[in-house]
């Protein structure tokens, strides 16, 4: 396997001539310094923010991470040109990406620079690459295997992960069965056998090689598919977003209307402690009733409260938005209101509210949400979701990362773009 490099074609003579002519034309005129805000994309951002598309046509870029030197790594869920990981570099530090590299031959979702390693995941394993003093991957052809043999049934099989400061590795193992239904779909498995190996988050050691599934421990159960997962170093705890189940009207039309099917259940944000149960599959969180409800597969009628001791979400979001990444902002570039708050990338849309394909912001204070969630970046779809006639989907936000200067990065696994947001 070879590292593939692509360098920018630079027209130095033309650029130099143009700058010289511009200088000659303007040197006799002194203009005031004006702070400008630019947006070369269709994305809608709050006043004062600039949005730039720094990478495009990159394929299914799922999650991304930024090293201390500003290098941007993204993991692809589908190989492109036989490679999975994308590296974008600004070699001359002029704010423009001028080099791309590609390596790894196993697709996946999770990716994270932590200390002296680049960690990445496939749909069944987590591995790492050693970084040198310049934060560059030293041997892209030979990653070290951290853990392998995680179950992959082909649906909701991404293995996003987080790492704390004690070298604990937390890996999502999502359920391929939406509500843990039995084979004839008439009811739920009792008990749900899937929870033995999926539908939760497992803990391994980030500094030990060649672990198997059996070497880990189940950290939390009852989470159907936590694609957004991160360690909050301010609270020293794990946070995750969960994808809610579906099919309420399709399987139980006598209990749920088509409208309710679009409204239920909530997408949820949790702070997680070891041993917690988030309630799946026997319950779900109803954002309209603002309570945990017993699932119909387990005797629920759409109103009966859940009977298990499950944790409550920190925040409930509209159904079917598909939260795919979670990031706590710790930089100094953005205004104070964003400090230590949570950004969430929503990958889908609410059929009832006609919103979606957005990045949301949740303000935090003292480690807890301190206000309502709001839309931070909108219009990834490229058209008005309330009037979609003739609209062609452009982007679906999936991954989030923070740069060393405090910039926010968002990647899109549908259009293959990476966006940089500055203030």
The domain limits of the chain are 37-422
One pLDDT digit (tens) per residue for the chain, 423 residues = 445 454 444 433 343 434 343 333 333 333 333 333 455 578 999 999 999 999 999 999 999 999 999 999 999 999 999 999 999 999 988 888 999 999 999 999 999 999 999 999 999 999 999 999 999 999 999 999 999 999 999 999 999 999 999 999 999 999 999 999 886 555 677 789 999 999 999 999 999 999 999 999 999 999 999 999 999 999 999 999 999 999 999 999 999 999 999 999 999 999 999 999 999 999 999 999 999 999 999 999 999 998 788 999 999 999 999 999 999 999 999 999 999 999 999 999 999 999 999 999 999 999 999 999 999 999 999 999 999 888 899 999 999 999 999 999 999 999 999 999 999
- For the entire predicted model, the pTM comes to 0.90
The per-residue pLDDT for 22 is: 36
User: Can you give the length of the chain in residues?
Assistant: 423
Rounded Cα distance between 224 and 201, Å, is 10
The per-residue pLDDT for 169 is: 98
The per-residue pLDDT for 16 is: 41
Distances (CA, A) of 348 to 320, 380, 398, 413: 7, 10, 10, 12
Q: What residues are paired with 118 via a beta bridge?
A: 113, 129
Helix/strand/coil percent split, the chain, to 5? 10, 40, 55
Q: Among 274, 277, 264, 268, which Cα is nearest to 242's? A: 268
The per-residue pLDDT for 184 is: 54
DSSP class of residue 340? T
Cβ–Cβ < 8 Å for 313, 270: yes
CATH number 2.120.10.30 given to 37-422: yes
């Amino acid at each position: 396997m070879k590292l593939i490099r692509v360098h920018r074609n630079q027209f130095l003579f033309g650029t130099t001539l143009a700058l010289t002519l511009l200088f000659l034309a303007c040197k006799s005129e002194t203009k005031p310094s004006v702070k400008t805000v630019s947006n070369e994309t269709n994305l809608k951002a709050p006043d004062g923010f600039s949005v730039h598309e720094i990478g495009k046509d990159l394929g299914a870029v799922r999650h991304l991470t930024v090293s201390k030197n500003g290098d941007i790594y993204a993991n692809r869920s589908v190989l492109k040109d036989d490679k999975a990981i994308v590296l974008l570099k600004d070699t001359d530090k002029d704010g423009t990406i001028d080099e791309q590299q590609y390596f790894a031959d196993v697709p996946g979702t999770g990716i994270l620079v932590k200390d002296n390693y680049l960690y990445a995941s496939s749909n069944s394993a987590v591995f790492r690459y050693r970084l040198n003093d310049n934060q560059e991957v030293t041997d892209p052809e030979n990653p070290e295997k951290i853990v392998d043999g995680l179950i992959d049934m082909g649906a909701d099989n991404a293995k996003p992960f987080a790492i704390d400061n004690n070298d604990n590795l937390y890996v999502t193992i999502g359920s391929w069965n939406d509500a843990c239904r039995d084979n004839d779909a008439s009811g739920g498995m009792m008990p749900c056998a899937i929870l033995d190996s999926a539908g939760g988050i497992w803990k391994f050691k980030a500094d030990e090689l060649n672990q198997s599934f059996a070497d880990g421990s189940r950290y939390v159960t009852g989470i159907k598919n936590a694609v957004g997962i991160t360690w909050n170093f301010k609270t020293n705890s794990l946070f995750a977003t969960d994808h809610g189940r579906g099919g309420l009207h399709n399987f139980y039309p006598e209990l749920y209307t088509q409208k309710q099917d679009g409204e239920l259940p909530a997408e949820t944000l949790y702070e997680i402690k070891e041993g917690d149960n988030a309630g799946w599959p026997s319950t779900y969180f109803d954002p309209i009733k603002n309570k945990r409800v017993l699932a119909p597969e387990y005797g629920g009628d759409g109103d009966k409260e859940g009977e298990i001791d499950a944790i409550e979400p920190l925040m409930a979001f509209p159904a079917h938005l598909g939260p795919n990444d979670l990031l706590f902002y710790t930089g100094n570039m953005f205004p104070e209101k964003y400090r230590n708050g949570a950004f969430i990338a929503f990958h889908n849309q609410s059929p009832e509210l006609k919103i979606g394909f957005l990045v949301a912001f949740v303000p935090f204070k003292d480690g807890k949400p301190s206000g309502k969630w709001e839309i931070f970046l909108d219009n990834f779809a490229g058209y008005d979701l309330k009037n979609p006639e003739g609209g062609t989907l452009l982007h679906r936000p999936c991954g989030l990362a923070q740069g060393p200067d405090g910039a926010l990065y968002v990647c899109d696994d549908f259009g293959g773009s990476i966006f940089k947001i500055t203030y």
